[in-house]
Structure 1
Amino acid sequence: MLKSYILISWRYLMRNKVSSLISVSGLAIGFACVMWIGLYIKTELAYDSFVNDASRVYRVNLKGKMGDSEFYAGYTPPPAGKALMDNFPEVESYTRIYNPGNLLIRNVDENKSFVERRIFAVDSNFLQMLTYPLLEGNPATCLLDPHSVVLTEASAKKYFGNTNPLGKLLQADRTKDPLKVTGVIKDVAQTSSLKFDMLVPVSNYSEVKYFNWSWVWLNMATYIKLKPSAAANPNVAKNLESKFPAMLRVLAAPAFKRIGKNYDEFLKKGGYWDLHLQALPDVHLGSAGITSVVTTQNDIKNLYILGAIGLFIIILACVNFINLSTAQAAKRAKEIGVRKVMGSEKSQLVQQFLTEALFMSLFAVIVAVLMIWALLPYFNQLSGKDITSAMLLNGQFWLFTAALIAVVTLLAGSYPAFYLSSFKPVSILKGFSIFKSSKGNSGVRNGLVVFQFTVSTALIICTLVVYMQLRYIQNRDLGFDKENVVVFANAEKLGNSEEQFRQELEALPQIASVGKSTSMFTRESFGDFYVPIATSPNEHIAKDITLGSYMVDDDFVKTLDIKITKGRTFDKNFNDSLSVILNEAAVKQIGWKDPIGRYIRYPGGKMELYKVVGVVKDFNFDSLHDAIEPFAFFSYSSKSYDAFSSVIIARLKPGNPTNTLNQIGNKWKNYNAIQPFEYSFLNADLNALYVADHQMGSLLFIFTSLSIFVACLGLLGLVIYTAERRTKEIGIRKVLGASVAQITLLLSKDFVKLVIMAIVIASPLAWYAMNKWLQNFNYHITISWWLFAAAGLLAVFIAFVTLSFQSVKAALANPVKNLKTE
């Protein structure tokens, strides 16, 4: 029987090549989208699954509020891990990660050097808790020696070729003694939330040792591992978190006092300093709103969006199959009638039609897999993933595919199967039209067309909104001039020659201005607490404020063209060692009406008082996802804090920058021939903040295009069917003088009405979805009415072009031939 079903299905496909091709094409695109999205989601969900006992490992996060400034961060003070292990028996161990920034690493024997950007300073038990697979070395001992280094396989090959690296020496530019290679890790998996190329002991870094007392220096990522007995309790994290405030009242209070704050008063004023535990498997996808400088994080909402798009596209393909199958009912009526008269049961007919759906699904899957295989590099480039063709041979992938085939077969085949098998043989064979009472079926087809174009139009609107938001990001006034600014981020590598190098740049005729800073926009700033000084006991101003800051030279503000709204910038004609420039957000939060000449005090150190000499217009020094926070510029001469990095920026005059950069590169080599000359353009650095947004926009555009294509395939199939049914009518109208345009309009107008109905339904749905998405940005566009109008016109245009393709063909046909055929 099965053989018979397959044979009949094959014959049906061959007899109806156009409708079969349309159905298979739509299903193939749907399968390809769902399979690729499935692979993407599987990769995202697999993050950190390679870690042994991952369910027992937690990242320690800190949620804090100081004054009006709030933050939620995936990093902690240096003593947090030890405090948790000492105070709570549930905690088995802890390990910490510190990011020391870019380091120049040199092969001592071969004088081969590279700048390493992905290097972590870690505690000695790092590889025991987070079990990255070692190819060489012992995870328990390889980081015990302060002068050791562990490389990934790729890094080992980069420095030492194919020779065994164990025991070899590397020199880092921030450590006096060479580092001995004591281990080699298998290259870090794509599914690791921590990406690194080298590990060195954290004991090499004096700043970590110095701040081991501090509960306000937040530069360490801390992970703890719970004992098996504790981890078995599903509420262990909540139970532990409830005990943390009492611990912090004891341990954090001295650190707060050291910076001039009473911890109890800090809490009474509405401040908080709370530790939270986040399970390791949740770090990658569950960290929306949590900042981190060491972990790779995504928003699980993106997976929901992609999953929904994949679901809609496969449903669109199934709708095509349903519409075309039911539209072909008249052609199959006699076949069904004869088979029923010959004794076929309804269940056998249902099985036959489901077999046809299965047959088409199998064809579509083969095409889909070939499409994925051919386009995988392109999709990887768009998504930033590294999905390999080997994953297409994975057993789980084919189990997923088999389940998908079964679902699609039932979804696409059930309605046509039960509808076609329900025809009464007597009525059919007597010649009664099966469509006399088929208004319900026509209504279903129309409803499905509306559904298809509702989805497609909604995706068009979403794509337009994403495009407009990304363009807004590109063109928004950030409060400074980002064009033609070159950033030299490793200026500290020049040592004592840094100032001389800066002066030589300033002398170049192609350079308009040069500035210097301890950091730069898109990079880390130094954050600390300050106390605004009141002029009278009754003055209502903020009691304290958290400020991000850079130390800058006299030309930094001028070079970036940051607008001074009050006062002045730093000037060599003044002694600015105890001066500060605030942004408008800081002044507003403090509550000063006239800030010039007022003071803020640093409650730690020597209790320095800084005089406000200028106010700058608010500028976006970070992503537009984030609100502008209070910020300050201190003069380099203030030496307000120790900075381990230095950045020189240069504004180039308009023209070709290549020759200028070559000259600067030669000057750099004169001062430091070992350190590679590196630079970046500020506008490129800012654009890099939105890589994930651009990726999502590109994926949305592709899937929107595919959904429109699938919907148009279905529309094309229906208009072909309609033209075939109305062949005689078209011939008579042409004989009576109807024009090609009139006949095209006749065949198209009903479908265009359905598309317009879809636009009306799609618009509020898309507005709601994109309004939610735009809330991820603190600065965003307003969704205008013309976006909906543009999307609607585009949907109507696409539909009309699709309809016209077949309608014009039908209208141009010879009416004599049509009437003879009828």
Structure 2
Amino acid sequence: MFKNNFKIAFRNAFRYKSNSIINISGLAIGLTCVILIALFVTDELSYDQFFNDADQVYRVNLNGKMGDGEFYAGYTPPPAGETLVANFPEIESYTRIYRPGVDVLEYSNGTEKQIFNEENVFAVDANFLEVLSYPMLKGDPKSSLQDENSVVVTNSIAKKYFGDVNPLGKILFYGKERKPLKVTGVLEDMSNLHASVKFDMLVPVSNFENVKRFNWSWVWLQMATYVKLTDKAAANPNAIAHLESQFPELIRVHAANAFDRIGQPYEEFLENGNKWDLHLQPLTDIHLHSGEIESVISEQNNIKNLYIFAIIAFFIIILASVNFVNLATAQAAKRSKEIGIRKVLGSPRVQLIKQFLAEAIFYTAVSTLLAVLLVWILLPFFNQLAGKTISFNSIFENGIWLFIIGLSLLTALLAGIYPAFYLTSFKAVNVLKGVSKVSNSKSGFVRNGLVVFQFTVAIIMIIATSIVYLQLNYTQNRDLGYDKENLLVLQNTEKLGSSEETFRSELEALSEVKSAAISSGMITRGNFGDFYTPEASNTEDNIAKDISLQSFLVDEHFMSTLDLKLIEGRGFDTNFNDSLSVVINEAAAKQIGWENPIGSMIQYPGGRMESYKVVGVLKDFNLESLHSHITPFALFSNTSESYDTGVSYITLKVKSDNIGKLMSAIENKWNAYQPNVPFEYSFLDDDLNTGYISDKRQANLFGVFSFLTIFIACMGLLGLIAFNAQQKTKEIGIRKVLGASIAEIVQLLASDFVKVIVIAMLIASPVAWYFMDKWLQDFAYKIDIPWWVFLLSGGMALVIAMITMGFQAIKAAIVNPIKSLRTE
């Protein structure tokens, strides 16, 4: 019987070719979308799962509050890991990561020299590869970082410098001191790994004097610390909560001397409403569950994006199944006599139900095979769109193939269950008399309800996509508080040493350069953060509250080059001694509580207890993407010696004419000053755009899935209009005989569906507003959702639906009425 059912299903597929094509293509498109989304979600969920003992490793995060400013970061003070291991037997080991920034690496084989700027060099403790077991192709993870003069590289870096020669034992020269480092290990390329921490090279942290210098500090937050729990502690579900409950007292004891050393007693720090708390985050949670946790070391996404795509996948497969239902019920009149005859000949209803379910399974099986083929074809495009490197072989891993089989069976059940019970419910006598219940009000209500559901989802997707693109457009065109156009940022200019100012002056003299400035940081490229103590504000309690300030060291040209706006006071000027001057932004003045900040003082406990006079107040400007709020910020003169980041940039305001000629001139000058450091630059607007890559990818994926959703919905509508036309065949024939025009026939068939789509618009609009308002909360600065988006999105859906309906309605309207009435 099973074989016979599939034979009949096969024959019916060829008998009703147009419906079969629509059914199979709709299901195939839906299944393709779901499989691609499943691959994407599985890829994201697999981050950091490959590490040995991944369930025992945790990142130590710090939640700090100073004054009114609060932050949550994936960084810790340098002594945190050692202190935790020493005080808690549940923690068996720790390892740390420090990111020193861009530096030069050089290799010479005697005949030729290779010199590159390397950005992804991480400084780590000697046991790093034991705690985090990155796959090693050559070398020993236990000993490869024990020697201070060692370096571990990835396979691609080994090929970059050494070609096909065995890299072990080769010497690379690092930094301006050209420190010789021997290659002691080769790791698998990071592009092949789902790791939240990715790098190109590892060097022992003992090479960095600034880390050694701050080993005492509990306020220098430049280290990422990972701890490994014992087997027993990792197995205890209450272990983390128990450990974290003891951390406040640990910090109170061990951080007190460090806070005293910078003139900030820790007890007083806490009494002022501040906090300095450590928390443990599972390694496998870092990639997707870091939320507002700041980190320039970890690759972090948002679990909400996975929820969104999972919901999209769910609705797409439901829509594809609804199509099957609509098309099956549209065929009901054609199949009713078949059902009636089979019932008269003794077929039980259960057997007929099995027949229709077999047809659903047949269609779904064919659709699944086609979907897998489409995934193979479309995966490179999808990878480019989503920024992934998913291989087609991933289908056969992590149970994806089982998911596909289960999805196929579930789709067959969803698509076939209603038609099976509906079509087999016809009474044989009524069917053979020509009186069936195909068009009864209950079944019509169900079909119309399904179309309302389809277009509700489709319109929600269109609205969501529109809002995502509007927000992206807003972020790229909003006034950021400075002029981002034609700003050329030269990197690694600290390598020029004492010649940096001379080099800047020569560049400024070029006719294509309007101005040039030197700074220790740059927008989107990092800054120095620490806390300061302002003098007592004029608030009611008149108590000085610590404030966390991000800052740059800049020259007197910086503000004019970026066109930063002064609210009051002045900028830095060579006519003044500004080594103890500071320019703050509006946010800093507001948080401190100063109404008249000019002349007020702030003290920097982290330096030599210097006090700086406020000489100017800047209009607020954005340091990062619009995901982040404007925070208290300050500019210090580069004549100040309070801190040294070891990094410098030269920013040029250039004319847009003949950029190629200008770049060639700048590079020639660079090579004349520093031939041993590769010339690197970027335009600020490009740097800003990189901050929205994830949003752009999400927008593009929304756009693609919106198109497919409306396409699938229109296929369902095509099935329903076909059903309606079929039921009104004789009515249409009579109306045409009586003189009705094609336009009137089209209106007859389409009017009910216009009402259905309008209902979908009314349902979709508030639902879409609610969810997109939630999505916009991730942006510190966002659009107000305009009313016309809902009208436009609904109108687009209506126009597309009208085109779909018009095609089928015109096809029905032009049929010869004699053919329609022949059977009467």
Same fold (TM over 0.5): yes
Q: Which residue of 2 aligns with 1:587?
A: 589
Report the equivalent of 1:640: 642
8 Å contact from structure 1 (residues 29, 368) kept in 2: yes
TM-fit CA distance, 1:583:
0.3
Cross-structure match for 1:185: 187
Q: Does 1:317 align with 2:316?
A: no
Deviation at 1:170, TM superposition (A): 0.3
Q: Is the 8 A contact 1:124 1:144 kept in 2?
A: yes
1:739 shift after superposition: 2.1
Aligned AA (1:178): P
Structure 1 residue aligned with 2:690: 688
Q: Which amino acid aligns with 1:651?
A: K
Q: Return the letter of the residue paired with 2:155.
A: E
Distance 1:471 1:736, change over 3 A: same
Q: Deviations over 1:82-119 (max 9, x none)?
A: 00000101110000000011121111324112221111
- 2:552 and 2:464 map into 1 onto residues whose CA distance is 39
Which residue of the partner structure matches residue 143 of structure 1?
Answer: 145
1:9 aligned to 2:9?
Answer: yes
The aligned residue for residue 527 of structure 2 is: 525
CA separation of 1:212 and 1:22: change in aligned 2, threshold 3 A: same
In 2, are the aligned partners of 1:533 and 1:598 still within 8 Å (CA)? yes
Q: How does 1:483-494 map to 2 (within 5 A)?
A: 483-494=485-496
Task: Determine the structure 2 residue equivalent to 1:801.
Answer: 803
Q: Which residue of 2 aligns with 1:712?
A: 714
Are the counterparts in 2 of residues 146 and 204 from structure 1 also a CA contact under 8 Å? yes
Deviates more, 1:621-630 or 1:419-428: 419-428
1:758-777 to 2 correspondences below 5 Å: 758-777=760-779
> Aligned residue for 1:104?
104
Q: Partner letter of residue 657 of structure 2? A: G
In structure 2, the residue matched to 1:373 is: 376
Structural mapping, 1:404-443, within 5 Å: 404-435=407-438, 438-443=440-445
Describe how 1:236-635 pairs up with structure 2 within 5 A: 236-394=239-397, 396-435=399-438, 438-534=440-536, 540=542, 542-635=544-637
SS, match of residue 25 in structure 1: helix
What is the aligned-residue identity percentage?
Answer: 57
Match of 1:220 among 206, 219, 223: 223
Deviation at residue 537 of structure 1 after TM alignment: 11
Aligned to 2:48: 48
Structure 2 CA distance for aligned equivalents of residues 96 and 774 of structure 1: 35
Amino acid at match of 1:325: A
When structure 1 is superposed on structure 2, of 812-821 and 229-238 the one drifting more is 812-821
Tell me the amino acid that sits aligned with residue 670 of structure 2. W
- Structure 1 unmatched ranges of 5 or more: none
The size of the alignment, in residue pairs, is 821
Q: CA deviation at 1:536?
A: 8.2
Letter in 2 for 1:349: L
| 3-state SS of 1:530 partner | strand
Superposition deviation, residue 815 in structure 1: 3.1
In 2, the alpha carbon distance for the partners of 1:323 and 1:300 equals: 35
Give the one of 736, 754, 772 matched to 1:734.
736
Partner in structure 1 of residue 91 of structure 2: 91
What is the CA distance between 1:427 and its match in structure 2?
2.1
Aligned to 1:696, the other structure's residue is in SS state: helix
Preserved CA contact (<8 Å) 1:190 1:386 = no
2:705 corresponds, among 687, 699, 703, to 703
User: Per the alignment, in what secondary structure is the counterpart of residue 799 of structure 2?
Assistant: helix
Report which stretch shifted further, 444-453 or 538-547: 538-547
- In structure 1, distance between residues paired with 2:772 and 2:394: 33
> Compared with structure 1, are the counterparts of its residues 395 and 33 closer, same or farther at alpha carbon in structure 2 (3 Å cutoff)?
same
For 1:181, the aligned partner's letter is V
- Pair 395,646 (structure 1): closer, same or farther in 2 beyond 3 Å: closer
- For 1:421-468, what per-residue CA distance to the aligned partner results, in whole angstroms no more than 9, with x for missing partners? 2222222223323336x2111111010000000000111111111111
Mapping of residues 121-200 of structure 1, within 5 Å = 121-188=123-190, 189-200=192-203
The equivalent of 1:202 in structure 2 is 205
Deviations 1:580-626 (A, max 9, x none): 00000001111111111111111243221111111110000112111
* Structure 2 counterpart SS, 1:213: coil
Alpha-carbon distance between aligned partners in 2 of 1:445 and 1:718, rounded to the nearest angstrom: 7
Tell me how far 1:395 sits from its aligned partner: 7.1
Unaligned segments of structure 2, at least 5 residues: none
2: CA distance, partners of 1:606 / 1:463:
53
> 2:412 & 2:436 partners in 1: Cα distance?
29
Distance 2:606 2:103 in 1: 30
- For structure 1, which segment, 738-747 or 760-769, has the greater mean C-alpha deviation from structure 2 after superposition? 738-747
1:27 aligns with 2:27: yes
CA distance in structure 2 between the partners assigned to 1:655 and 1:108 by the alignment: 39
Mapped to 1, the partners of 2:454 and 2:760 lie a distance apart of 8
- Counterpart of 1:634, as a letter, is F
Q: Which amino acid aligns with 2:333?
A: A
In structure 2, distance between residues paired with 1:752 and 1:821: 31
Shift of the 2–653 alpha-carbon distance from structure 1 to 2, 3 Å rule, reads same
User: Structure 1: which amino acid aligns with 2:466?
Assistant: L
SS of residue in 1 equivalent to 2:714:
helix
Shift of 1:420: 1.4
Q: Tell me, what secondary structure is at the counterpart of 2:686?
A: helix
> Could you tell me which amino acid in structure 1 is paired with residue 764 of structure 2?
A
1:380-399 deviations in whole A, cap 9, x for unaligned? 01111101122234472211
Partners of 1:821 and 1:484 lie apart in 2 by 76
CA distance in 2, matches of 1:706, 1:19: 19
Q: Which residue identity is paired with 2:173?
A: Q
The amino acid of 2:93's aligned partner reads S
**One-letter amino acid matched to 2:799:** F
Following the alignment from structure 1 to structure 2, what is the Cα–Cα distance between the partners of residues 317 and 468? 29
User: Relative to 1, partners in 2 of residues 1:719 and 1:536: Cα closer, same or farther, differing over 3 Å?
Assistant: closer
- The CA deviation at 1:474 is 0.8
* Corresponding letter in the other structure for 1:100: P
Normalising by structure 2, report the TM-score. 0.98
Give the 3-state SS of the residue equivalent to 2:553 in structure 1.
strand
Going from structure 1 to structure 2, the CA distance change for 1:732 and 1:741 (only over 3 Å counts) comes to same
After superposing the two structures, state which structure 1 stretch, 449-458 or 19-28, moved more. 19-28
Q: Residue type matched to 1:206 in 2?
A: E
Instruction: Answer whether contact 2:104 2:677 (CA < 8 A) is retained.
Output: yes
Superposed CA RMSD in Å reads 1.4
Moved more, 79-88 or 19-28: 19-28
Per-residue CA distance 1:342-371 (angstroms, 9 max, x = gap): 221211111111110011101111111111
Shift of 1:175: 4.7
1:274 counterpart letter in structure 2: D
C-alpha displacement at 1:738, in angstroms? 1.9
Distance verdict in 2 for CA 1:162–1:619, change over 3 Å: same
Q: Is the 8 A contact 1:35 1:401 kept in 2?
A: yes
What amino acid maps onto 2:83 in structure 1? A
Q: Which residue of 2 aligns with 1:68?
A: 68
Aligned to 1:675: 677
> What secondary structure, in the 3-state scheme, does the structure 1 residue paired with 2:189 have?
coil
User: Secondary structure at 1:633's aligned position in 2?
Assistant: strand
Instruction: Work out the CA distance in 2 between the residues paired with 1:607 and 1:525.
Output: 21
Q: Offset at 1:737?
A: 2.4
Q: Taking structure 1 as the reference length, what is the TM-score of the superposition? A: 0.98
**Contact 1:541–1:592 (8 Å) recurs in 2:** no
**CA–CA distance in structure 2, aligned partners of residues 541 and 509 of structure 1:** 52
